[in-house]
Amino acid sequence: MGIFKPTMYKKSIFDIDYSLLKGRGITCLIFDLDNTLGLIDNSKCPLKTKRLIKKLQDDFLIIICSNNTKRRLLPYLKELGIGGVSLSMKPATYGLQKIKKKYNLKKKEMVIIGDQIITDVLAGKRFKIMTILVDPLGDKDLKITGLNRKVEEKILQKYEKRGLLKRGNYYE
């Protein structure tokens, strides 16, 4: 199985069966921020996202793990009343390690949910936790992410040929 292949692949955070995750022993949902919880342009957390996160807080510990700055992350953390790691250096496992330690979690309780194969999914795979890929909420990316997308396209082409992963072919 490929290093970039996520455990699950869903259209968005609104399409994930969270009760299934709970049933599999997941207690902590770790979300990417940009293009997963909100658009690059959403300086504040979108209402739809807020509603979902608030609901999920009944069942899960919710954390944001972002490669973006503290300044970008803080309005989301405040609005949602949750914890998070900025400058998390995904695909390095630094941010995930920090979260695991701080909240005293086991790897089998953690899932990372994000829109990028070469940061979110790869970080999760390297850390050996469950990974969920979602499609990006919008077309607009940070500059660095624009470069990542080109690499991602190449990976997706290869994976599609091998029958591992194809855009729009969701699974769980």
Residues that bind Mg ion (CB under 5 A): 32, 34-36, 115
- Nearer to Mg ion by C-beta: 36 or 131? 36
> What's the per-residue H, E or C state across 11-48?
CCHHHCCHHHHHHCCCCEEEECCECCCECCCCCCCCHH
What minimum distance in Å lies between the beta carbon of 133 and Mg ion? 11
What minimum distance in Å lies between the beta carbon of 36 and Mg ion? 5
Nearest CA-CA partner of 73 in 46, 111, 43, 39: 43
- Nearer to Mg ion by C-beta: 115 or 152? 115
What minimum distance in Å lies between the beta carbon of 88 and Mg ion? 11
